[in-house]
Structure 1
């Protein structure tokens, strides 16, 4: 194999992006979920379970199949491709047959398993190839997962408009099959790496360590708060803008158009902050003595912007800027929490156990995927002031971020890496 072919860009970065940009399109769900609901004549809330199940199976498959990824990265990449592509194409077929359980099975379970395995596959490989800049490497790969929505959403909308909803699933399934198969062909461990089964660790021994649960809780809260806020973005912006004097005098139609344009811009900027957070925070962790410091920064910033929003609640213009700061910076911290997680686990459990510990920690994502949106919906629907119903959510988020900060601070008190028992 030539020197050009065997380098960290072709064997680690390129396959990581090919895989993560493909599977990250799970976040494009909002593009077509209403279309599926309309075609199947069911409420949008019912269809929403397709996405919730996908995230749940992502986390659970990562938790249980981490050792498989550790043992055979090539096999894992291939299994991920098969599950993801079959699930994506099967979703289209289920829609064509008007078979609702098929959507849940294909998009939720089958594709979800492909997501979980595919999310893990590039991580340790990147950390091995970029041993001196592990945070930067994982940040770049996970940024691909975050960018996928921005890349695929307009493509999906174009295909739906030109060839229809079902054909869109078939066409993109073929595209993702090619991309992920290329990732499978390219991905390779660095020269000299040898898998030692006797050095692997058991999931049970990891879960006996309090430090793991401290990290798990902080990660879970960061995702739960992020999803709770992200799920309410459009409503928050609509409420704030519609009550500003500048827009209050507009007719209903003009107000809707103006707000829609602003919201579209804000959501696009959100994606940029999310991506920058994924790269920036994990890269920052490379230059800090303790990786936990990054999480403490994320939680401190998140608490600060929540308090800023609360403090400016009655000042129209200041409130708008405070809300934008909250949305952008929480999105950045949400992304940074994902990209910094593998290197934080490496700090405490070692590179040998990364795929296993990372997979177990991603179970927090599975549970947060079910609880984040529901938390926001419950709080908003039960708010005493329905005119500013989103405001009731912000103090709760600030409190949860404070709990997460305490949890990760306790983790930072652990002086050295804790050994874990071999499997």
Structure 2
């Protein structure tokens, strides 16, 4: 046991962070998407598909990579490193060539495969090394994925100013290749663990036939869809709210942008902190609960309440600001917590031996949410009857979806108790 405690940081935690921090920079897309559109003379909406494709390929590659991760995490970590860094560097090369389809291929498909395989690779390993604190262990690694945006966004902005957009991709591709290569060298299973095909293999078809799987899938999918819908509108929401406040009301657009830039920047940075705290906090909480579904219920109830708080304070400008901030911060926390708690929830229902396969299949929900979340928000906001407060039409929709997610997670909990 002493050897296990001594080695699990270098064999599980550190390599997990070395893999998850680079791939987590996919959420830095907003830093350079407009620059790509300007450089390629393309509409931002067209360029946006690169990010949607990256999330789609992330989820789908994870769905199919589960058995490979079960068999050989060395191989899966190497595949992740190659695909992610080649895709990231290829994005820079495609921008330099003025070739938008190349951005879709490299950032969306190739890098997306690296994202999915890399996201999945450390999870089961952490659960094996930290058998008594599985939630905490997976929370640490997945927190690295969430924290990557706060770390990489200012670095990217600095590099773009110093060496240019294209060279930023090349420089960071090299940095990430080194980090992920060290993760590949360090990661390993606990001593004595061996892959047993008889016990570690589970048919995907048999998983898909279980109602409890679809209950978890639906709850997970709706949490991501709502999170992405809200995240995609954060700047517009803050813009609308601040524009109604006395210090900013009536300012010319250029003066307003300058006056509110710092406020909006601080809020977005706080979002990343709450997202990371949610990944750590909710997964740790799950270690102290008899049923892991309870964490999902807490997340959805909290999300519903902050949406209702915003709706009820919509007519009071000063109160509205605090209600909106509470909604943004806590939904972001629940969004992150949904990711970090998922592996241990699946472990509870399907067992640790096959968790890479079941986790990968469930991450397909991320793929579809990546396609639907932004589009849902865009549709609702575009068709809102009151364009002065366009975002307000989105909040009731999110409240309804969170309610459906709560019902789904509750049914999973009931089903789990019956099995016991």
2:142 aligns with: 142
Query: 1:253 aligned to 2:254?
Result: yes
Q: Give 2:101's aligned residue.
A: 101
| Residue ranges of structure 1 left out of the alignment (5+ in a row) | none
Shift of 1:245: 2.4
Q: How does 1:328-339 map to 2 (within 5 A)?
A: 328-339=329-340
**Equivalent residues in 2 for 1:311-322, closer than 5 Å:** 311-322=312-323
User: In 2, Cα distance between the equivalents of 1:231 and 1:375?
Assistant: 10
Change (3 A) 1:418 1:72: farther
1:363 and 1:268 map into 2 onto residues whose CA distance is 28
Indicate conservation of the 8 Å contact 1:348/1:417, yes or no: no
Instruction: Please report how far the alpha carbon of residue 212 of structure 1 lies from its aligned counterpart in structure 2 after TM superposition.
Output: 0.2
Q: What does residue 125 of structure 1 align with?
A: 125
Structure 2 SS opposite 1:201:
coil
Partner of 1:202: 203
Q: CA deviation at 1:30?
A: 0.9
Equivalent residues of 2:94, 2:102 under 8 A apart = yes
The residue that corresponds to 1:87 in the other structure is: 87
Q: How does 1:302-313 map to 2 (within 5 A)?
A: 302-313=303-314
1:244 Cα deviation from its structure 2 partner? 1.7
Post-superposition offset of 1:5: 11
The answer (yes or no) to whether the contact 2:54–2:109 under 8 Å persists in 1 is yes
Give the structure 2 partner of residue 189 of structure 1: 189
Structure-to-structure mapping, 1:5-404, within 5 angstroms: 7-199=7-199, 200-404=201-405
Tell me the TM-score normalised to structure 2 length: 0.97
Q: Against the structure 1 CA distance between its residues 258 and 66, is the aligned structure 2 distance closer, same or farther, given a 3 Å change threshold?
A: same
Contact 1:5 1:11 in 2 (8 A): no
| C-alpha contact 1:350 1:417 (8 A) present in aligned 2 | no
Contact 2:4 2:129 in 1 (8 A): no
Structure 2 residue ranges without an equivalent (≥5): none
1:403 & 1:5 partners in 2: Cα distance? 41
Give the SS at the match of 1:245.
coil
Distance 1:359 1:287 in 2: 25
Distance in 1 between residues matched to 2:99 and 2:418, nearest whole Å? 50
CA distance in 1, matches of 2:238, 2:5: 48
- How much is the aligned-residue C-alpha RMSD, in angstroms? 1.5
Shift >6 Å, 4+ stretches? none
TM score, norm. by length of structure 1: 0.97
Please say if residues 218 and 407 of structure 1, whose CA atoms lie closer than 8 Å, have aligned partners that are also in contact.
yes
> Per-residue deviation at 1:418?
6.8
Deviation at 1:64, TM superposition (A): 0.9
Cα distance in structure 2, aligned partners of 1:265 and 1:392: 25
Q: CA deviation at 1:99?
A: 1.3
The total of aligned residue pairs comes to 418
Other structure's SS at 1:26 match: helix
- What is the CA–CA distance in structure 2 between the aligned matches of 1:370 and 1:415, rounded to whole Å? 30
Following TM superposition, by how much is the alpha carbon of 1:247 offset from its aligned partner in structure 2, in angstroms? 1.9
Contact 1:347 1:417 in 2 (8 A): no
Q: How far 1:96 moved relative to its partner?
A: 1.1
Alignment-derived partner of residue 412 in structure 2 = 411
